[in-house]
Amino acid sequence: MLAVRSRWSVVSKSAFCFALSAMLFALSTTAEAQQSGKIPWIGYLTGSGSSPNQAFVQGMRDLGYIEAKNIGFVYRTTEGRSERSAPLAVDIVRLNVDVIVADGTGAVLAAKKATGTIPIVMTTSTDPVGNGLIASFARPGGNVTGLTSITGETAGKLLELLKEIAPGLNRVAVLHPGGPADDLFVKEATISGRGLKLEILSFPIRTPEEIEGTFQTMAKEKCNGLVMRLPANIHSAHFSRVAAFSAKNRLAAISPDLSWVEHEGLVSYGSDRSIRYRRTAVYVDKILKGSKPADLPVEAPTKFELIINLKAAKQIGLTIPPNVLAQADKVIK
Which amino acid appears at position 133 of this protein? Answer: L
Tens digit of each residue's pLDDT (9 = 90 or more) over 240-285: 889 999 999 999 999 998 889 999 999 999 999 899 999 999 999 9
**Alpha-carbon radius of gyration of the chain:** 26
Tens digit of each residue's pLDDT (9 = 90 or more) over 50-85: 899 999 999 999 999 999 999 999 999 998 788 899
Residue predicted with more confidence, 225 or 104: 225
Residue predicted with more confidence, 331 or 12: 331
Residue predicted with more confidence, 152 or 244: 244
49 pLDDT higher than 50? yes
327 pLDDT higher than 80? yes
Instruction: Provide the pLDDT confidence category of residue 33 given band limits of 50, 70 and 90.
Output: very low
User: What does the pLDDT read at residue 185?
Assistant: 87
The whole-number average pLDDT for the span 108-115 is 97
The fraction of the chain above a pLDDT of 90, given in percent, is 69
Instruction: Provide the pLDDT confidence category of residue 302 given band limits of 50, 70 and 90.
Output: confident
Instruction: Provide the pLDDT confidence category of residue 152 given band limits of 50, 70 and 90.
Output: low
Instruction: Provide the pLDDT confidence category of residue 323 given band limits of 50, 70 and 90.
Output: very high
26 pLDDT higher than 50? no
Kindly give the interhelix angle for 85-94 and 105-114, rounded to the nearest 10 degrees: 50
Query: Residue 154 contacts by C-beta under 8 Å, 6 or more apart in sequence?
Result: 256, 269, 270, 304
Side-chain-side CA neighbours of residue 301 (13 Å): 26
Give the least confident one: 12-21, 66-75, 108-117.
Answer: 12-21
Backbone angles phi and psi of 80, in degrees to 5: 80, 5
- Output DSSP code: residue 47: S
User: What does the pLDDT read at residue 233?
Assistant: 61
Strands in 305-309's sheet, in edge-to-edge order, are 199-204, 171-176, 225-228, 252-255, 267-270, 305-309, 330-332
User: What does the pLDDT read at residue 137?
Assistant: 95
The whole-number average pLDDT for the span 5-29 is 39
Cα 306 from Cα 26, distance rounded (Å): 61
- In this structure, the dihedral spanned by the alpha carbons of residues 290, 278, 184 and 221, taken in order and rounded to 10 degrees, is -150
Is pTM, for the whole model, over 0.85? no
Tens digit of each residue's pLDDT (9 = 90 or more) over 155-203: 899 999 999 999 999 999 999 988 777 888 899 999 999 999 999 999 9
Q: With contact defined as beta carbons under 8 Å apart, do 123 and 102 qualify?
A: yes
Q: What is the mean pLDDT of the chain?
A: 86
Domains, the chain: 41-149+273-295 (3.40.50.2300), 151-270+305-332 (3.40.50.2300)
